[in-house]
Structure 1
């Protein structure tokens, strides 16, 4: 009976895994816009800085908004540039990984459009 429950749970887990989740390579760098998110709000508080996914040249889903950036990792030069962009409400396109441990930036691609 116990084995049957384990097998059933494993089967359900494979059924409900989203197809794109199964294809994601966690170490593959992605592109993000970091810093000013360009929102115009009618009510306060209004998130002005954050991290969003980039889909080609278009800004996608917002992943983080806060007055402070998430934990940043990368080379000292990259971290200094990202922090400066955050502090001045500038925006940078970066390649890296974003997750529960924060944002790891492998390289800065350039300024946001």
Structure 2
């Protein structure tokens, strides 16, 4: 089982990490990726998502992406790993990039959300 996981994880990362393409500088912005601090009793609930870093944090209305899974990532392989680990641990990272359809283009990770 462990050998199967060792084979699947790199394959999953290879599929998830698309060739790195910088976001359009005009569209690139600071985004919060991960836990939303929105708590619900019943699913579906936007527990995790993506919001503009400067949003008012008023709830689901501020989210530009909400799902229990990450959108497709276009980022450096090490950034894909860090963002995925943070997402799965229900943490939040601030990144610079843009959401293009269902693909999050990450120029760089800024750090943990404030």
TM-score by length of 1: 0.69
Give how far 1:41 is off. Answer: 2.1
Secondary structure of 1:55 counterpart: coil
Which structure has more RCO (C-alpha within 8 Å, separation ≥ 6)? 2
Deviations 1:31-90 (A, max 9, x none): 00001011022443212110001117x547201111111110110011111111111100
Q: Indicate whether 1:103 and 2:104 are aligned.
A: yes
Count of equivalent residues: 87
Equivalence for 2:6? none
Equivalence for 1:30? 29
TM-score by length of 2: 0.68
Output the aligned Cα RMSD: 1.8
Which has the larger strand fraction? 1
Q: Give distance in 2, aligned partners of 1:38 and 1:91.
A: 10
Q: Give distance in 2, aligned partners of 1:51 and 1:104.
A: 12
Are the aligned partners of 1:27 and 1:97 in contact in 2 as well (CA < 8 Å)?
Answer: no
Equivalence for 1:52? 51
Unaligned runs of 5+ in 1: 1-25
Equivalence for 1:73? 74
Equivalence for 2:85? 84
Equivalence for 2:38? 39
Secondary structure of 2:83 counterpart: helix
Q: Give distance in 1, aligned partners of 2:25 and 2:91.
A: 27
Give how far 1:105 is off. Answer: 0.6
For the pair shown, the structure with the greater C-alpha radius of gyration is 1
